[in-house]
Amino acid sequence: MKTYESWLAKLRKRAQPSGALSQWAEMLSSKQGGEADIWREHLREILEEEERASLDLILDLDLITAPAKTKQGPDEQIPLW
Alpha-carbon gap, residue 14 to 2, rounded angstroms: 17
Q: Which domain holds residue 54?
A: 4-65
Q: How many domains does the chain have?
A: 1
Side-chain half-sphere of 42: how many Cα atoms within 13 Å? 17
Question: Which amino acid does the sequence have at 33?
Answer: G
4 near 52, Cβ under 8 Å? yes
Inform me whether the pLDDT recorded for 75 exceeds 90: no
Inform me whether the pLDDT recorded for 26 exceeds 60: yes
Asked, for residue 11, whether it belongs to a domain, the answer is yes
Inform me whether the pLDDT recorded for 68 exceeds 80: no
Asked, for residue 76, whether it belongs to a domain, the answer is no
Asked, for residue 46, whether it belongs to a domain, the answer is yes
Phi and psi at residue 80, in whole multiples of 5°? -80, -30
Residue 78: band (very low, low, confident or very high) from pLDDT cuts 50, 70, 90: low
Q: Give the predicted TM-score (pTM) of the model.
A: 0.76
Residue 66: band (very low, low, confident or very high) from pLDDT cuts 50, 70, 90: confident
